[in-house]
């Protein structure tokens, strides 16, 4: 099969997956939230509301009311500001808050996948980069790219763009984009570390000496720092976003109970009372350890910079979670592992096709479950 045909098949597959994922989410919402007194639902509501659930309400409140912080209680300061700020900006063009949130995700997600394949093409051949793009597009939790009112698609778009610019030698723009990205998610150390190590590695591979300018990636954390300054000014506590994680209902207090995953062992292995919950938590743990297992192959295939980035972007939330809940979604940020996986599966086409098939089916199931208001991630 020639390159043009392979590229066409890959993009047609992506469009089909996005469409089916959106249909599954919207259909599940309509089925589970139907109102006998209002059987007719507007098309915009039908499409939008299947992607609004759980943390979407926090982004809605921030966009409409701003931040609030009550020590010891769940508070909106846990969510970083870039996504709700964009929602507020899009609202000025006419859409309501939910339509704005879904529209931003729907635009950012597919674009992130496109730029990911462009980035992958700089490090691998075209067939492998297309396979990597499909692996990422059909990863079960990538439905968060296809409309869900969450910030993940925006963050991944920005961080992939930053590394793409870095690979092309555009250090200043890469750092600027990365600084914006760190205002979307609390993972600035991973972005700074990944960009810095990759930049030094990139220069070394070309036989060039390091200079002061090569350490510019340390400025990538400015978005993160600006949010901390805002919290300090507004609430007198720059670490408010960390402290609220221990509030009742979230219960992510730092300490040995969290670090040793005691809650996970109790709910999954020692005394599971809800089989569905145990399976969900086991799945999140599985994907976490799979990503960590790919750190060393990433080092061998893509270099120290991407290995450091993956280790940090996976390790930081994995260390701070009590039960791995949410890790399946967070792993979308560990985008280099999808290229590593594609490179490892180059000589195993059947295994690659099997992974894509299982991923596509799982993606549709999770899209449906999210639309039906099940807690996924």
Span 11-21, pLDDT tens digits: 666 666 666 66
Mind listing the pLDDT tens digit for each residue in 87-131? Answer: 999 999 998 999 999 999 999 999 999 999 999 999 999 999 999
Residue partners of 102: CB distance under 8 A and separation at least 6: 47, 48, 51, 52, 147, 148, 149
Contacts of 334 (CB under 8 A, 6+ apart): 291, 309, 310, 313, 314
Q: Residues with Cβ < 8 Å from 54, sequence gap 6 or more?
A: 375
pLDDT for residue 8: 64
- What are the domain boundaries of the chain? 1-168+347-377, 186-236, 251-337
- Rounded to two decimals, the pTM is 0.92
Which residues of the chain are under the pLDDT cut of 70? 1-48
Burial 262-290 (b: 16+ CB within 10 A, else e): ebbeebbeeeeeeeeebebbebbbebbee
For residue 225, what pLDDT is reported? 97
User: Contacts from 289-292 at CB under 8 Å and sequence distance 24+?
Assistant: 291/331, 291/334, 291/337, 292/318
Rounded distance between C-alpha atoms, residue 4 and residue 26, angstroms: 33
Residue 278: HSE in the Cβ half-sphere, 13 Å Cα cutoff: 11
- Maximum distance among all Cα pairs of the chain, rounded to whole angstroms: 71
Per-residue DSSP letter, 201: H
At residue 125, the pLDDT reads 93
The whole-angstrom separation of Cα 304 and Cα 322 is 29
Q: How far is CA 111 from CA 84, 117, 332, in A?
A: 19, 10, 14
What is the model's pLDDT at position 39? Answer: 47
Work out the angle at residue 157's Cα, subtended by the Cα atoms of residues 113 and 67, and round it to the nearest 5 degrees.
140
Strand partners, 38: 35
d(CA 355, CA 352): 5
Q: Which has the closest alpha carbon to 148: 30, 21, 241?
A: 21
- The two tokens of residue 198 are 């990759």
Instruction: Specify whether the CB–CB gap between 173 and 165 falls below 8 A.
Output: yes
pLDDT of 147: 85
What is the per-residue pLDDT for 377?
82
Instruction: Please list, in sequence order, all residues whose beta carbon lies within 8 angstroms of the beta carbon of residue 341, skipping any fewer than 6 positions away.
Output: 132, 135, 294, 355
Smallest Cα–Cα separation from 170: which of 205, 194, 202? Answer: 202
Taking Cα atoms as reference points, which of 335, 346, 286 lies closest to residue 306?
335
> Which residue in this structure is represented by tokens 């900006």?
89
- The values of phi and psi at residue 35, to 5°, are -115, 115
Spatial neighbors of 75 by CB under 8 A, at least 6 apart, are 67, 68, 69, 240, 244, 247
What pLDDT is attached to residue 54? 86
């Amino acid at each position: 099969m020639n390159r043009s045909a392979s590229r066409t098949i890959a993009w047609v597959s992506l469009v089909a997956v996005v469409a089916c994922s959106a249909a599954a989410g919207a259909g599940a919402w309509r089925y589970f939230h139907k109102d006998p007194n209002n059987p007719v639902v507007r098309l915009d509501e039908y499409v939008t509301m299947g992607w609004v659930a759980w943390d979407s309400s926090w982004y809605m409140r921030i966009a409409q009311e701003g931040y609030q912080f009550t020590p010891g209680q769940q508070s909106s300061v846990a969510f970083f500001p870039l996504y709700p700020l964009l929602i507020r900006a899009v609202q000025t063009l006419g859409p309501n808050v939910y339509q704005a949130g879904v529209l931003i995700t729907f635009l950012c997600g597919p674009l992130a996948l496109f730029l990911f394949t462009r980035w992958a093409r700089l490090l691998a051949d075209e067939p492998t980069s297309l396979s990597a793009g499909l692996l990422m597009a059909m990863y079960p939790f990538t439905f968060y790219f296809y409309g869900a009112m969450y910030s993940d698609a925006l963050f991944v778009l920005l961080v992939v763009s930053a590394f793409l610019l870095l690979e092309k030698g555009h250090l200043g723009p890469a750092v600027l984009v990365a600084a914006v990205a760190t205002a979307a998610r609390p993972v600035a150390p991973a972005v700074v570390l990944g960009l810095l190590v990759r930049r030094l590695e990139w220069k070394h591979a070309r036989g060039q000496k390091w200079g002061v300018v090569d350490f510019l990636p340390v400025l990538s954390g400015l978005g993160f720092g600006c949010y901390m300054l805002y919290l300090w000014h507004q609430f007198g506590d720059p670490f408010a976003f960390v402290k609220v994680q221990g509030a009742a209902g979230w219960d992510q207090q730092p300490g040995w109970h969290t670090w040793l995953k005691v809650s996970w062992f109790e709910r999954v292995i020692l005394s599971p009372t809800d089989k569905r919950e145990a399976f969900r938590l086991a799945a999140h743990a599985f994907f976490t350890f799979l990503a960590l297992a790919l750190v060393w192959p990433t080092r061998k295939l893509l270099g120290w910079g991407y290995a450091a980035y993956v280790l940090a972007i996976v390790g930081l939330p994995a260390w701070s979670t009590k039960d791995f809940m949410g890790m399946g979604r967070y792993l979308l940020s560990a985008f280099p592992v999808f290229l590593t996986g594609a490179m490892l599966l180059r000589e195993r086409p059947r295994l690659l096709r099997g992974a894509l098939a299982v991923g596509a089916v799982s993606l549709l199931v999770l899209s449906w479950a999210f639309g039906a208001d099940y807690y996924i991630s």
